[in-house]
Structure formats: C-alpha cells, structure tokens
Amino acid sequence: MAQRHSSSTVTETPPARTLSLTEIAYAGRRWHLREPLVVHQTCEDDVWIWENEEYHVLGHGDDLADVALDFGFAFSVQWDDIACAEADILAPDARRVREGLLALVIDCGMTTSDGVPSRR
C-alpha cells in the first residue's frame, strides 16, 4: 500500500500582542506621545493588524514594516482631520477623540530625510 505525503505546510498564526508606542512616524512627521499608546497587534490570514480602539486608528499590512507604515498613515489622518479640526464642527464622539489626541500628543515634529528630528 502506497503512502501519501502531504505537500502542504502548516504555519502557525503569531500570537496576539499588545504594543506600547511612545511615538508615531509617518511621511516625515513624528508625533511624540505624553504616555504610551496601547496598540493591539494580531495577524489573521497572513495580514498583520495594529489597532487602537480609543482613537479609532487601524493599520494593516503584509509584514510588520507595512503595518507600522499604514498605522502611521491612519494616525496622521485622525490627527489632521480630527485633532486639528475646530471642536464645534465635530460630532460628540469625534470631539472626545480630538480631546484625547490633543492630550496624548506632546508635539508633532518633522524629520529630515535621514530621520533626524527637525522643529521647523
């Protein structure tokens, strides 16, 4: 009786983790945080996911570099569209997110092409 060999490979899903970010960078901008931002990291179907429910920030990517970049993009959108908006034009939920982001972020600086902080 011939034996059958399976050619499929079983890969394990990495365990979920909780990250604590003290700064977030995206597109030459760097947000320095007053306290660590709690981010839940998971990997589902080979897609990495970083999520912070409190500020409604979600990033995903094929690897950790991609997910960090996408999370930075999502954070920058929340900063630009919510934190930098006038409070009176925002819905109550968005106002709470705005207040939290403004309390969380110490400053937002620019970085030069070599990653050195610049305070222009």
Residue with tokens 């490979």: 9
CA pair distance 40, 53, nearest whole angstrom? 9
What is the average pLDDT across 17-41?
A: 97
> Rounded to whole angstroms, what are the CA distances from 49 to 4, 7, 18, 120?
37, 29, 11, 33
Looking at residue 46, what DSSP letter applies? T
Kindly report the average pLDDT of the chain as a whole number.
Answer: 87
Q: Residue 41 above 80 pLDDT?
A: yes
pLDDT value at position 11?
60
| Per-residue pLDDT reduced to its tens digit, 47-64 | 999 999 999 999 999 999
Q: Residue 116 above 70 pLDDT?
A: no
pLDDT value at position 54?
96
Could you tell me the pLDDT band of residue 94, with boundaries at 50, 70 and 90? very high
Could you tell me the pLDDT band of residue 13, with boundaries at 50, 70 and 90? confident
CA pair distance 60, 9, nearest whole angstrom? 24
